[in-house]
Structure 1
Amino acid sequence: MMQQPRLRSLQERHATLERQIAEEGNRPQPDPGALSRLKRAKLRLKEEMHRLSAGR
């Protein structure tokens, strides 16, 4: 099934974004714009993973 490799790829990217969000959040002066962009990207990936796993 073609969705499995795509889902794994999305999961890896999601984990990368989580690390980037944590790194930015731990900086002495986090960039709110960067955090916002990273969080939106992470949410888009999460929604896509949900659609793929639901078979839509």
Structure 2
Amino acid sequence: MTVHHNPPEKMAKEEVLRIELEVLREEHRDLDASIEALQEKGMGDQLTLQRLKRKKLALKDEIARLEDQITPDIIA
């Protein structure tokens, strides 16, 4: 018999957060690759690159927020 420490609804919510987190991480990686490719080829104006970098930073913040929800702070 398996004992669950979390109620099923909390486990389901955490699983949804983990899936969201993976989607955001993939989008972050894709943006990073796009920015790098544009810079290497000398394509894309500064405004476009800045917009992509801001979006990448916003994704990073959202990823950190989700990670905090999944892994609560442990008070030592």
Normalising by the residue count of structure 2, what TM-score does the alignment of the two structures yield? 0.68
* Structure 2 residue aligned with 1:18: 32
Higher alpha-carbon Rg = 2
Normalising by the residue count of structure 1, what TM-score does the alignment of the two structures yield? 0.90
In 2: Cα distance, 1:29 partner to 1:10 partner? 25
How many equivalent residue pairs? 56
Which ranges of structure 1 fall in alignment gaps of 5 or more residues? none
Q: CA RMSD in A?
A: 1.5
In 2: Cα distance, 1:55 partner to 1:22 partner? 30
* Structure 1 residue aligned with 2:17: 3
- State the shift of 1:29 in Å: 4.9
In 2: Cα distance, 1:26 partner to 1:55 partner? 36
Q: Does 1:51 align with 2:73?
A: no
In 2: Cα distance, 1:41 partner to 1:18 partner? 10
What percentage of residue pairs aligned between the two structures are identical?
34
User: Counting helix residues as a fraction of each chain, which structure ranks higher?
Assistant: 1
